[in-house]
Amino acid sequence: MSADQEKLIAELVEKGLAGDMDPINAIEDRVLRSKAKAALAKAKRAAKVAAASAPADEKLAEEPPADTTPSDNPNQKFGKMIEDKFPGSLGADLNDTHIQLKPDNWFDIATWLKSEPSLHFDSLQCQTGMDLGDNILEARYNFHSMTHDHKIEIRIAVTRDKPNIPSIEQIWRIGDWFERETYDMFGFHFDGHRDHRRMLLPEDWEGYPLRKDYEVQETYHGIVVPKVKEGWE
Amino acid sequence: MGVVHGEEMVLNIGPQHPSTHGVLRLRVKTDGEIISEITPVIGYLHRCFEKHCENVTYDQVIPYTDRCDYLAAMANNFGYVVAVEELMELKIPEKVEYIRVIMAELQRIASHLLALGVYGLDIGAFTPFLFMLRDRERILDMFELTCGARLLYNYMWVGGVSHDLPKGFVETAFQFLDYFEPQIDEYNKLLTHNKIFVERTADIGVLPADVAISYGVSGPNLRASGVKWDLRRNAPYSIYDKFEFDVPVGDGAKGTLGDCWDRYYVRMLEVKESVKILRQALAQIPKDGDVHQALPKKIRPPKGSIYSRTETPRGDLGFYIESDGSPIPSRVKMRSPAFTALSVLGEIAEGWMMSDVISILGSLDIVLGEIDR
Amino acid sequence: MGLLENRFQDNVVVAKLDKLIGWARSTSPWYFQFGLACCAIEMMATAASRHDLERLGMMPRSSPRQADVMIVAGTVTMKMALRVKKLYEQMADPKYVIAMGSCATSGGPYWQHGYHVLKGVDIVVPVDVYVPGCPPRPEALIEGLLKLQEKILEERPLTRKMA
C-alpha cells in the first residue's frame, strides 16, 4: 500500500469515526473502499475498548434518584417482578426495550416465566445471538404470551472464554433448534441441551461464522471456499 | 392382536428426493414399515443470508430476503420493510400501503396454490397440480406487468415500492378474480373431497394445540389445530385493520382436529379470504399519488433494535434488526415460520407409516430456503 | 450423400449413422430434476401447463440412473457439493449437465460473503450448458435445453478418437 493511499485511508477513518460515511462510500475503486472500511472497523473496535475501560462510576453519580412509580412498559414491569422473585439476577438497570439478566439461574427464571399465570409466556418467538465486540457475546430471547398478548425481550451477556448459558429447550420445545443454531453461528454453549451439535453447517466446519472476526477457512474437503477464482477482480 | 416386530432399520430420505420440497434429509428409524424415530437434517441450502446482511446496506438486503422464502417473495419483502420502517418511524403514503396489501394477498394466493398443488402431487394426484399452476401463472403475469419479474421481485422498498401499478392493472385483477372464484369450487371437487385424498390425509399427523404453541408453530398450521391466531387480525400492521375478512380455523371435519386434511383445508379457505380482501382493496385504492415520495434519501435508522412480525403464507415471519446508526445493519435475524414447522415433524410423525410421512411433510408446507437461510 | 441420393422412393431416407444416433439421443433427453432452490420452482413451472417440457420429449426422472441430463437448479452449498458429485457419478453415460441460474454458474448473489456457497457447480462436475438468470425465465431454460440438443447432434459417437 503506497504512502498516499495510507494517508487517504487515515483521513477517511477519521471522518468515519466522527460518523460521516459519505467520503468512504463515494470512492470508486472497490479495493480501496474495502480497505478503508476494514481500517474503520478496526479503529472503531479500538475506540470501544478504550471507552469501556473509562470509569463507569462517573455515570452512576450523575443519575437522578430511581423512579419508583410503576411503569406500564412490559419490560420494566416484568423486570421488576423478576428482580422481586429472584433477587440479584438482573445484569443491568431496567429500561424500556429489554431485560438484562445474568446467566446463573436462568433456567429457574424461565420456568417461572412460563408457569406463573399472570405472565404465562408460552411462546418463545425468537432466539438469537449477538457479537458485541470486546470479547462479549450476548444471547437474546423474545417472548410472547398468547393468552395475555404481551411480550418482552431478555438479553444475557457472556464472555467468549466462558460462553455458557443454561439451556431452556425443555421448557419451550422450539428452544432445541434455536439454541443449536445459535451455537452453530456464535459458539455459545447451552448447558443441559440434550443434543448439542451443529445445525446448519457441516459437523466438521471450523469456526463460528457470525462472529465479527470470522475468517473463512481455505478449503473444505478439497474444495476451495473463498470467492477468488481466476480472472475475478 | 399380535403385532409383528421386524428388525430396526435406519433409512435415509433425501437430500435429493422428489417430494422433500427442497434439499431436506430425513433420517428415519423404522421398525418394518412403521416409523419409530425421525430426525430432520437441514443445512444443505445454508446461503449465509445473515452474514450478507452485515455487509450490505439496508436496501441492498431486500433482494436477499426475496431468495429466502422463494415461493412468497413479496411477503418476505413486506416483513423486512415493515420492520425497518418501524425502526425508522417512517410514515408511508396510503397508496403505497394499498399496493403492498394487494401484492401480499396476490402472493398469498399464488403461494397457497403451489403448496396445495404440490401436496396433491406428493399424494399422487397430477391433475390438480397442473390446474393450480395454470392459475398461478396468471398471477405471475400480473406481477410481471408491474415489476418485470416472475418469481423474485425486489419490489417493496423501504418507504415505498419500486414501480407504480401500471394502467389497466385494476381491471386485469378484477377479471382474474371473477375467473378464479369458481375455480376454487372446482379444486374442491377434484381434490378436497376426493375419497382417496381424504383417506390419505384425515386423522394423520395430528398436531395438538399446546404442542404447536410450544414448538412455535404459526400460520395455517396453528390455525388448523384450532387456535384462532392471525397476525393480520390480532396484531395488525400496515392497513389490514381496514378490511373485513374471517380467519379460518380447522374443525376436524373429516377426522381429528389438527390432522393433515385440516391443514390443507385451512389453506384452501384462506385463498377465499384473500380474494375477499383483494376485492375490497382494489375498490378502495386511491387513484393518484406518488409511490416514491416517502423514500428516504439515506436509510440510516437510529441506534436500537426491533423485533417485528408479519403474516406470510407460511406463518409469522419475524425480523430482529439491530442498528448501530450506520447505513449497514449490525445484525439482521430472520425468524422463519417453516423452521418451527419442520421442528415439529419429529414429534408428530412417529408411529405412522412411511407413506404417511410424505403426507405429513407436505401438509406442513415448508420451504428449505427459509429454513436454512 | 453422393452416390446414394435420389435413387430410392420418397419414403426412404439415407443418412450417416452418427447423425441418426444424434437425432435419436437429442430429441428425448430425460432430465434429472435436481432442484435445490428458487430455480427449481422455475424448472417446475417450465414442466407445468404453460411452458410444457414434455412436448420437447423431456420427461422428469427422480432417479439419476434413469436420466440423461442433470439440471442443477439452484445454489450448491459445501454440504451439498459432495452429494452432487456422487449423484453425477451415478448417472449412466452419455450424460450432460446444465447449470441453471447464476448460483449454479458462479455462486450467484452469494459470491462475495457466502462462506458456505460453492462458487459455481463446475468446480465439482463438468458442465455443458450454462443458463444465466436469477431465476432464468422458463423460455430461457428451454433455449438452454435446445442448445444442448444442438450440442448432442454435433457429437460423433462412432468416430474413433485419435490419441
pLDDT (tens digit per residue) in B294-326: 888 888 889 988 999 999 999 999 999 999 889
Q: Between residues 22 and 51 of chain C, which touch chain B (CB distance below 8 Å)?
A: 33-38, 40-42, 44-45, 48-50
Q: Are A101 and A89 in contact (CB under 8 A)?
A: yes
Segment (H or E) for C97: strand C96-100
All residues at 6 or more sequence positions from C99 whose CB lies less than 8 Å from its CB, including other chains: C72, C105, C120, C121, C122, C127, C129, C130, C131
pLDDT tens, residue by residue, C8-54: 787 887 888 888 888 888 888 899 888 888 898 999 889 888 888 88
> Residue A66 above 50 pLDDT?
no
Output b/e per residue, C130-152; b: 16+ Cβ within 10 A. Answer: bbeebbbbbebbbebbeebbeeb
Q: Are B141 and B147 in contact (CB under 8 A)?
A: no
> Residue A37 above 80 pLDDT?
no
pTM, whole model, 2 decimals? 0.85
Is the minimum CB–CB distance between C6 and chain B shorter than 8 Å?
no
Question: Rounded mean pLDDT of B83-112?
Answer: 92
Distance from CA of B334 to the nearest CA of C (A): 17
> Residue A65 above 80 pLDDT?
no
The pair phi, psi for residue B51, each rounded to 5°, is -70, -35
pLDDT tens, residue by residue, A202-218: 888 888 888 888 888 87
Output b/e per residue, B64-73; b: 16+ Cβ within 10 A. Answer: bbbbbbbbbb
Contact A221 C116 (CB under 8 A): no
Minimum mean pLDDT range among A116-120, A169-173, B5-9, B132-136: B5-9
Is the minimum CB–CB distance between B42 and chain A shorter than 8 Å?
yes
All residues at 6 or more sequence positions from C107 whose CB lies less than 8 Å from its CB, including other chains: A227, C75, C114, C117, C118, C119, C120
Distance from CA of B201 to the nearest CA of A (A): 25
Question: Rounded mean pLDDT of B194-220?
Answer: 89
Q: For cell 455462486, what's the residue? A: C107
Cα B20 from Cα B41, distance rounded (Å) = 12
Chain A residues touching residue B373 (CB < 8 angstroms) = 200
Q: Between residues 152 and 211 of chain B, which touch chain A (CB distance below 8 Å)?
A: 211
Please give the pLDDT value at position A221.
80
Contact B326 A21 (CB under 8 A): yes
- Best mutation target, A181, A225, A230, to test chain C (most C CBs within 10 A): A225
Which of C81, C116, C119 is the closest to A229 by Cβ?
C119
pLDDT tens, residue by residue, C50-107: 888 889 888 888 888 999 899 999 999 988 888 899 999 999 888 999 999 999 998 8
Q: Residue B352 has which C-alpha cell? A: 405412522
Strands (DSSP E) found in C24-84: 31-35, 60-61, 69-73
Confidence of residue A28 (pLDDT cuts 50, 70, 90): low
**Residue B353 DSSP one-character state:** B
Please give the pLDDT value at position A45.
63
Q: What is the DSSP string of C115-145?
A: TTB-S-GGGTS--SEEE-SSSPPHHHHHHHH
Please give the pLDDT value at position A52.
46
CA-to-CA separations, B110 to A9, B47, B70, B107, B176, in angstroms, rounded: 50, 25, 12, 5, 12
Please give the pLDDT value at position A18.
65
Q: Closest Cα to residue C145, out of C15, C19, C21, C52? A: C52
Contact A223 C106 (CB under 8 A): no
Q: Dihedral sign for Cα C22, C27, C29, C33, please.
A: positive
Interface confidence: ipTM more than 0.85: yes
> Residue B105 above 90 pLDDT?
yes
